[in-house]
Amino acid sequence: MYSRAYKAAVALPPLFWVALFLLLPYSLLFAHSFWSVASGAIVRQWSLHNYAELAHNWMYAQVLFRSMKIAGAVTLLALLLGYPLAYYLSFCAGPQKQLLYQLVIVPLWVSYLVRGYAWKTILGSDGVLNGFLQYLGIVSTPVEFFLYSPFAVVLTLTHIYTPFTFLPLFASLEHIPRHLVEASQDLGASPRVTFWRVIFPLSLPGLLAGATFAFVLTLGDFLAPLLVGGPSGIMISNVVVSLFGAAYDWPLGAAISVCMLLLVVGILFAIERLEKRWSFH
Amino acid sequence: MKRAALILLLALAVAAMTSCSKQKAVTLSLLVWEGYADPSFVRVFEETHQCKVVASYMGSSDELVAKLRGGSASNYDVISPSSDVATTIAGSGLAAPLEMSRIPSYPQLSQKLRELPLVRINGKIYGVPFMWGPNPLLYDTSALSRPPESWSIFWDKKYRGKISVWDDLSTIYMAAQMLGFDKPDPGALYNLTDEQLEQVRKKLLELKPNVRKMWATGGELTNLFQNHEVVAAMGWPLMTNQLRKLNYPIGETIPRENTTGWMDHLMVTAASEHKELAHAFLEYMIQAKTQKLLADVTGYVPANPGAAALMTTDEKKSLHLDDPDAYMARIYFWQDVPRRNKYNEVWNAVKAAQ
């Protein structure tokens, strides 16, 4: 048995950490969302004014909805790319598994910004892709929707977040007992039936975890719209950035952040329940 | 073995850190517009004052104010607010009153600029006039053979997806000019009514299909031109200068509606821990010699008329120093916007629209 002092000594640092870096900032954010700004200073008077503004001005809901649409598209694409990749690595790659796994992870070592700028170089009017298409004679003038468009935002974010869907998918596929797959085959199930009746249901927790990563991280993204997004593609975090960074309306920015936080926590709760229901233990 | 390597690494790291702290050169931090911390003039100051000058750049006046108010005032020693927020910053205690005895070159500055009430509060002076200039229309001369006569080409269907505007209230002023709200009094641009702002919002929504990208930094607009993403934009003379140096076919003009512009001041932040050095920097930056170098880099008009004596006739001409009053008359200088929040709200609504 550990002594009480030992237990306290072990528990204190993480508690301190959580209090200082999670509870305190979140409380500050929460408090700010009820305050207001008057003549360039934050006034600590409690009111629901900011939330009323969010409910009343439907621009915010519109941008949030657009962000969710982009996040949904990115999640879907990242899963469509990540799942076959994870499946191949787990079931078919053989001795190359480790090497391929590292290759999937390598892009994560490159800074987000560098990857954003790389897409700019590829997709631009003078970019690699347009140059190639013009060289082949497929188009005569540069295709403009490649860059500074919702398309560019979805593409960039999909590239960035596919490894995040791949990792949990790969982990859950690796954990599927191979004798279950063999049993299915021995009992005469075709590969397709084995996949849909055995492998896919068992990979659902990984799928959910990957989808959550992609959706939540995309929803809060502001760099991709800034770098490769068009004049009409801003996402909800860009609104928060401009409220904090230009308009000095921290309270309204905080109110949006609190709403986002609640939305994300809600999603996480729902996913956790689904995961419990679908996991095979 | 592994542990030994780790200890060695730690020891090296500690050694590296202590050796750094031994030198301990004073660092002067600037939060200024792009072009105001070019090595061509900053290096000499660093050498003579045995210090290091580190610059951050602001993308808009609002960004400057939000940063200072948001508590990062103590991170910066010198700022370069424009005429729209200079009074706000001076009046809200974010800037320190200047000790004029430490800035002996001050009387050399243009009297007209010194007499502006912008940075004088209760008899104290909070900033030195620095540089001024317009927000001109920049255009790619290979796409537009003649200088556009009006800002209305931004709305021309011919240039769909080929225009860039500044992610700043200046774009609101420009649209308001197009709607004629600057007549008879150009100052009205900075105090539009709700009804006028609503018309401006609609006018800007019509502009959006033509906008390829809104630029947030000078470097971004330069890149947009270089990569042939846009053919016309509202910009700064700094970008014209930079693009010309790159041999890019860039033209600069002030259309017939005239344009908005700015007078920048240099200020010392109230929270600065290096006020003496900051004053020395202000003094250095307004000396005729430095102002000439600044004009070379930025293409802005120096506040010190003495800089003109160091220029060739061509240089003077390109800065309109041969007839500065006529040039000034075409620029509606930014003023304090009493309802800046409302303006920002309208601008955000324009950006958020589909």
User: How many percent of chain B have pLDDT more than 90?
Assistant: 84
- 3-state DSSP call for residue A188? coil
- Quickly count: other Cβ atoms within 10 Å of residue A154's Cβ: 23
What is the pLDDT, as a whole number, of residue A277? 81
What is the pLDDT, as a whole number, of residue A54? 93
Q: Which residue has the higher pLDDT, A247 or B243?
A: B243
Query: Of A127, A142, A246, which is closest to B63 when you measure between CB atoms?
Result: A246
CA-closest candidate to residue A127, choices A226, A228, A223, A233? A228
For B298-319, the pLDDT digits (tens) are 999 999 999 999 999 999 998 9
Chain B nearest CA to A280, separation (Å): 42
Q: Does B104 touch chain A (CB under 8 A)?
A: no
The answer to whether B124 touches B226, Cβ cutoff 8 Å, is no
**Mean local confidence (pLDDT), B245-254:** 95
Q: Does B142 touch chain A (CB under 8 A)?
A: no
What is the pLDDT, as a whole number, of residue B267? 97
Chain B nearest CA to A198, separation (Å): 44
In this model, does residue B34 exceed pLDDT 90?
A: yes
How far apart (Å, rounded) are the C-alpha atoms in residues A172 and A71? Answer: 23
What is the pLDDT, as a whole number, of residue B12? 52
Domains of chain A: 49-111+143-278 (1.10.3720.10)
What is the pLDDT, as a whole number, of residue A281? 53
Q: Does B349 touch chain A (CB under 8 A)?
A: yes
What is the pLDDT, as a whole number, of residue B23? 53
In this model, does residue B11 exceed pLDDT 60?
A: no
How far apart (Å, rounded) are the C-alpha atoms in residues A160 and A112? Answer: 7
What is the pLDDT, as a whole number, of residue B130? 95
> pLDDT-derived band of residue A40, with 50, 70 and 90 as boundaries?
confident
How far apart (Å, rounded) are the C-alpha atoms in residues B28 and B34? Answer: 16
| Per-domain boundaries in chain B | 23-132+263-322, 134-260+335-352
* Residue range B23-132+263-322, CATH number: 3.40.190.10
**Mean local confidence (pLDDT), B262-273:** 95
**What is the model's pTM?**
0.88
- Tokens coding A1: 């048995």
Q: Does B229 touch chain A (CB under 8 A)?
A: yes
> pLDDT-derived band of residue A156, with 50, 70 and 90 as boundaries?
very high
Chain B nearest CA to A156, separation (Å): 17
> pLDDT-derived band of residue B243, with 50, 70 and 90 as boundaries?
very high
- Name the residue of chain A whose CA is nearest to B168's CA: A246
How far apart (Å, rounded) are the C-alpha atoms in residues B94 and B96? Answer: 7
> pLDDT-derived band of residue B7, with 50, 70 and 90 as boundaries?
low
Q: Assign a CATH topology to domain B134-260+335-352.
A: D-Maltodextrin-Binding Protein; domain 2 (3.40.190)
The answer to whether B159 touches B148, Cβ cutoff 8 Å, is no
CB spacing of A246 vs B344 below 8 angstroms: yes
The C-alpha angle B231, A157, A78, rounded to 5 degrees, equals: 140
Mean pLDDT of chain A: 91
**Mean local confidence (pLDDT), A182-192:** 92
Residue A238 with chain B: CB contacts under 8 Å: 351
Q: How far is CA B155 from CA A147, B201, B209, in A?
A: 21, 14, 9
- Tokens coding A280: 């095979």
For B135-146, the pLDDT digits (tens) are 999 999 999 999
**Mean local confidence (pLDDT), A222-233:** 90
For B171-180, the pLDDT digits (tens) are 999 999 999 9
- 3-state DSSP call for residue B123? coil
Query: Of B60, B213, B348, which is closest to A148 when you measure between CB atoms?
Result: B213
CA-closest candidate to residue B211, choices A115, A167, A234? A234
- Lowest average pLDDT, out of A187-191, B69-73, B294-298, goes to B69-73
For B200-242, the pLDDT digits (tens) are 999 999 999 999 999 999 999 999 999 999 999 999 999 999 9
Same fold, B23-132+263-322 and B134-260+335-352: yes
- Name the residue of chain A whose CA is nearest to B208's CA: A231
Q: Which residue has the higher pLDDT, B11 or A170?
A: A170
Chain A nearest CA to B215, separation (Å): 10
What is the pLDDT, as a whole number, of residue A7? 86
What is the pLDDT, as a whole number, of residue A46? 92
In this model, does residue B16 exceed pLDDT 60?
A: no
